[in-house]
Amino acid sequence: MDEFRPAIALNVFIEPYFRKEILQKIFENLGELPEDLRRELVAEVKDQVRISGFRNSMVAPRALLIRDAESVFEKDSKFSLICLKCWQSLYSQSHRALKQNLADLGFSISEQATNAYPDPLNTFLEGWPEGMDFETLFEKITAKEKDFPLSKDETALLSILLTGYLP
């Protein structure tokens, strides 16, 4: 049987600047998140993120919220996974095209990804197609689609989230 990795295993592949970008994007676009995800995120932030001087971390200045949420994101699989689901939902317009590109490149979709990652401790499998890494993936997709709207980091993360596979 394949061995699943927890959601926080993804942190190995996320540069600190990009982790901050992920959290900024989520908190700047709270109103655009689906209601169920927003509710779950707010509950997790209130429960997990502690900011000195604020009983409710959601009302803290955004820079403080992001800084303190980042440390929780790195250590807590449940918090990390809800943040990743929120971030992924903000790119829903790119899902279909990217999924098609990934299928064309030999990627498969895990059962966890198909079921919206029900368990934060058993989230990702390992195993991208042979010879595929973040750089190669981005090069192949942008060669095929000249006006591809995502950055290399966004493409890599969204590819992991859509397939359920770590490189």
- Rounded Cα–Cα distance for residues 50 and 65 (Å): 9
Phi, psi of 75 (to 5 degrees): -115, -20
> How confident is the model at residue 146, as a pLDDT?
85
- Rounded Cα–Cα distance for residues 135 and 119 (Å): 29
The residue ranges of the chain whose pLDDT is under 50 are 1
> How confident is the model at residue 1, as a pLDDT?
45
Could you tell me the two tokens for 1?
Answer: 């049987």
Q: Are 14 and 22 in contact (CB under 8 A)?
A: yes
Cross-strand bridge partners of residue 125: 165
> How confident is the model at residue 145, as a pLDDT?
86
Q: How many CB atoms lie within 10 A of CB 3?
A: 7
pTM: 0.93
